[in-house]
Structure 1
Amino acid sequence: MIRKKSRREESLDHAELARLLPAPGDPHLSLDRHLLLEEHLMSEIQPAAPAPAPSRRPARRVLLIGVPVTAAALAGAFAFTALTGSGGSGPAAATPPPVEAPVVRIEPGSTAQLASTVEHIAAAASARKTPEPGPGQYIYIKSKVSYLVVSHTDADESKALVQPLHIREVWNSPDGKQGWLDEPGYKPKGGITLDSDVESSLGGPSYDYLKTLPTDPDALLKKIYKETKGQGNSPDQEAFATVGDLLVEQLAPAKLNAALYRAAAKIPGVVVVDHAQDAAGREGIALAHVDQKSGDRAEWIFDRKTYAYLGSRAVQVKQAYGIKPGTVIQSTAVLERAVVDAQKQRPGAQGTRA
């Protein structure tokens, strides 16, 4: 699942964008997808005003989607990224060139074992000891990730390109006010600050905010639907995506984790996929939901024996926006989750693993 991105507030040079891109064809893009495409292309191809504070979580969906991108425009975007880095300021190593997205066999999902699988997952989450970060400490998450770059190019409409698998490390204070992101090749060398004065919410939760959420699954799901109304491609899809976002780069109290899984099981369309693989190559069982508009299935992957959360995957199950079925457009794996005593500190003698 790829994360929400704020829309640019300043006006875009539409004439320049039109010169770089071919005339759009069918199917027509929604306004949100046009804005997402314009935002990324313009920020990568030409120097722009200072970027807003970066998101604490990776983009939920894609960087460029829905239209063929010319080879020249794609090359220009990556050449510019290699010189300036992607986000923040300061020198950065060259951004690795994209690679062809993997294609897997689409395994059908089923509701037959949904209730029992979710109960196993929730029970394991409740029993798992979760450290509580204190003042001055940071929640550390190390992941291996890959996200879609373009749905297809004018040279090959069957080929989707993704980022090579790479490491992403995030530090967040419990109150969400201080943070740091290190993503070599995609952020300036050494990383970028995630400091923010924005109030925490479901769209960008802090640990302290998560502690205030109800642990009754029905009340929790009601709150999620209410606060995400009008977002996403459908209420059910957005509810599932919101719960999934809370699993990726955050530490949640054990009771809330269990409630999130039980709430997700009540979302229409959620199924169990018996076999799924995370970005680290670990096999597991998945809870999944198909976005009927974009045609991809978001999968949360759990260890088959311990039911611990491993990572996520998004697989295209319906042809849409030039992406053929079976294409893996997103893959993540949580490698470490811990509480540490300082920003940029990695788990060790002073860290407490979750």
Structure 2
Amino acid sequence: MDELAQLNNFRSEVPPQEDLRGEAERLMAGMSAPARPDFRRIGLRAALAGGLAAVAGVAVFLVQSRPAPVPPPPMIRTVAAVEVLSRAAAHAGSRPELHPRPGQFLVYESQSMDSTESDGQIWLSRYKRKIWLPVEGSSVNGVLQEELLTPLPYPGRALPPQAQAEQARAGKPGRPQRAADFDHRAEFLRNDYAYVSRLPTDTEAMRRHLYTQVPNDGLQDYEAWNRVGGLLAESYLPAAQRAALFRAAATIPGVVTVKESQDAAGREGIAAAMVSPNGVREEHIFDRKTYDYLGRRGVVVDAKLADAPVGSVVSSSAQVKVSVADSAPLVEETARRGSG
């Protein structure tokens, strides 16, 4: 685990500035994390096949049959995390804001790469994605359109025959389809605009939100980190909530800065990250100058746990554009009913 220890000790290449000294002075004593038990990972592609993913690009853990939740641990700001996330918080309101209205749609355009498993084989699926999500919060009327890109071999393996179907369809945009309905999820896991625009704007309250009903099972900090990703992927927070999210994320134990990262579109940036129980460093990437959120990346730091060479990129995404639209494309069955 030498590589893991080394990667977790990365420090930001950004030189300290006066605006960070106040944060550093408020650092609290560290807290010992409980031992990590066995875990279960749920594949992302199964969710994407139906449309909207509840948390894009990060591991999702079952909530059922888990230990009782406990209050979040004391707030601890690590200097390495403060150096990138505090700047992201400070720049949260530097760009013109979107102000979507009820009846409109937020439109997210992205590019992603994630692992796909079938019949004991694994490879990396790549795709472009555009999704229209209602401002009011219901995903029932959400519309999804995807375009498959040429798949890649999973690091250390050959491209299996099962990936040939994706190769044949690569470069051909799919038809708009109904997005999966995630309205049954718990209220505190929602990431639609109607909900996130009411989230807390102060750090401590936002942190409590991230730890809502998180059980004391040794994975609570990583699950809180997952929820940060859920509020960044295909979600748009107003500037005040966005800044609070970044400040709260800096207090999650185990979060570090990665000096160099790259999103799925090839854009270079600096990242805040945490190592998953699967031996993958899950990175949230920011532009070095504007500190706009760019996307995510998963990099192997433990070859045995991840079943891939150290340094391999096994997942990535790029949030290319977020906009507002008055309507969404008609899906095929809707168009057929309208013509009848």
> Shorter-chain TM-score: which interval?
0.5 to 0.7
- Tell me how far 1:117 sits from its aligned partner: 2.5
Q: Is the 8 A contact 1:182 1:190 kept in 2?
A: yes
The 5 Å alignment of 1:276-295 reads 276-291=261-276, 293-295=277-279
- Tell me how far 1:55 sits from its aligned partner: 3.6
Find the aligned partners of 1:310 and 1:59 in 2 and give their Cα distance: 13
The 5 Å alignment of 1:114-263 reads 114-150=81-117, 161-164=123-126, 166-177=127-138, 178-185=141-148, 189-194=174-179, 196=181, 197-198=183-184, 201-229=187-215, 234-263=219-248
For structure 2, the 5+ residue unaligned runs are 1-36, 61-77, 149-165, 331-340
Residues 228 and 133 (structure 1 numbering): CA distance in 2 closer, same or farther, change over 3 Å?
Answer: farther
Specify which structure has the bigger relative contact order, considering alpha-carbon pairs within 8 angstroms and separated by 6 or more residues.
Answer: 2
Partner of 1:274: 259
Per-residue Cα deviation, 1:279-330 (whole angstroms, up to 9, x for no partner): 1111111011111x21111111111011111111011111214223212111
Secondary structure, counterpart of 2:222 in structure 1? helix
Per-residue Cα deviation, 1:116-139 (whole angstroms, up to 9, x for no partner): 322211111133322111022100
Partner of 1:90: none
Q: Is the 8 A contact 1:284 1:304 kept in 2?
A: yes
Which letter does structure 1 place at the counterpart of 2:229?
G
Which letter does structure 2 place at the counterpart of 1:225?
Y
Find the aligned partners of 2:38 and 2:85 in 1 and give their Cα distance: 34
TM-score calculated relative to the size of structure 2: 0.65
Secondary structure, counterpart of 1:248 in structure 2? coil
Q: Is the 8 A contact 2:284 2:297 kept in 1?
A: yes
- Aligned pairs, how many? 249
Residues 333 and 117 (structure 1 numbering): CA distance in 2 closer, same or farther, change over 3 Å?
Answer: same
Secondary structure, counterpart of 1:163 in structure 2? strand
Partner of 1:61: 59
Which letter does structure 1 place at the counterpart of 2:103?
G
Moved over 6 A (4+): 151-154
- Tell me how far 1:31 sits from its aligned partner: 7.2
Q: Is the 8 A contact 1:151 1:321 kept in 2?
A: no
Q: Percent identity among equivalent residues?
A: 35
Residues 318 and 56 (structure 1 numbering): CA distance in 2 closer, same or farther, change over 3 Å?
Answer: closer
- Tell me how far 1:246 sits from its aligned partner: 0.8
Per-residue Cα deviation, 1:222-274 (whole angstroms, up to 9, x for no partner): 1221233368x700001011011111101111100000000000001111111
Find the aligned partners of 1:57 and 1:170 in 2 and give their Cα distance: 14
Q: Is the 8 A contact 2:188 2:212 kept in 1?
A: no
Find the aligned partners of 2:89 and 2:222 in 1 and give their Cα distance: 21
Q: 1:32 aligns with which of 28, 37, 40?
A: 40
Find the aligned partners of 2:274 and 2:233 in 1 and give their Cα distance: 16
Secondary structure, counterpart of 2:147 in structure 1? coil
Q: Is the 8 A contact 2:112 2:317 kept in 1?
A: yes
Find the aligned partners of 1:137 and 1:190 in 2 and give their Cα distance: 21
Residues 337 and 200 (structure 1 numbering): CA distance in 2 closer, same or farther, change over 3 Å?
Answer: farther
Residues 230 and 150 (structure 1 numbering): CA distance in 2 closer, same or farther, change over 3 Å?
Answer: farther
Which letter does structure 1 place at the counterpart of 2:244?
A
Residues 194 and 318 (structure 1 numbering): CA distance in 2 closer, same or farther, change over 3 Å?
Answer: same
Secondary structure, counterpart of 2:254 in structure 1? coil
Secondary structure, counterpart of 2:302 in structure 1? coil
Secondary structure, counterpart of 2:228 in structure 1? helix
Q: 1:306 aligns with which of 271, 287, 290?
A: 290
- Tell me how far 1:151 sits from its aligned partner: 11
| 2:308 is the counterpart of 1:330 | no
